[in-house]
Amino acid sequence: NAGVTQTPKFRVLKTGQSMTLLCAQDMNHEYMYWYRQDPGMGLRLIHYSVGEGTTAKGEVPDGYNVSRLKKQNFLLGLESAAPSQTSVYFCASSPRATGGADTQYFGPGTRLTVL
């Protein structure tokens, strides 16, 4: 099993450009998440999904959109990139059952720089 994979690993954008980050998991997990990690801020939840076809906002959703058309994939889109979106983005998945503990499996991250 590859676990959680993310594409691309690195990307440099100019302000105003758009891009999509792809996350894929092969563990048949129901839940998927997108986080950003900034120095001194820890991991912050952007959006998440509790199943195919569902999405919901996390702590810092502004400027991002997501889609979960297939259970194994979770896409994060930036429609008009801003320098404040320079960060490392992590995708995670979990097999969480109702009332169960949410142990998450993380991808390797995407380092995004917006100039």
Partner 1 sequence: SQKIEQNSEALNIQEGKTATLTCNYTNYSPAYLQWYRQDPGRGPVFLLLIRENEKEKRKERLKVTFDTTLKQSLFHITASQPADSATYLCALENQGGKLIFGQGTELSVKP
> What residue ranges bind partner 1 (CB under 8 A)?
4, 40-43, 45, 48, 58-59, 90, 92, 101-109
- Residues 6 or more apart whose Cβ sits within 8 Å of residue 30: 50, 51, 71, 94, 95, 96
CA distance 15 to 100: 41
Shortest CB 11 distance to partner 1, Å: 15
Least distance from C-beta 12 to partner 1, angstroms? 17
Q: Which residue, 14 or 40, has its beta carbon nearer to partner 1?
A: 40
Closer by beta carbon to partner 1, 14 or else 42: 42
Q: Which is nearer to partner 1, 57 or 70 (CB)?
A: 57
Of 14 and 28, which CB lies nearer to partner 1 in the complex structure?
28
Question: What is the residue whose two structure tokens read 């995670």?
Answer: 92
Q: Which pairing describes strands 31-38 and 105-106: parallel, antiparallel, or unpaired?
A: unpaired
Residue type, 21: L
Nearest distance in Å: CB 16, partner 1: 28
Q: What is the closest distance, in whole angstroms, from the C-beta atom of residue 44 to partner 1 in the complex?
A: 8
SS3 state at 33: strand
Q: Could you tell me whether strands 110-114 and 10-13 are parallel, antiparallel, or unpaired per DSSP bridges?
A: parallel
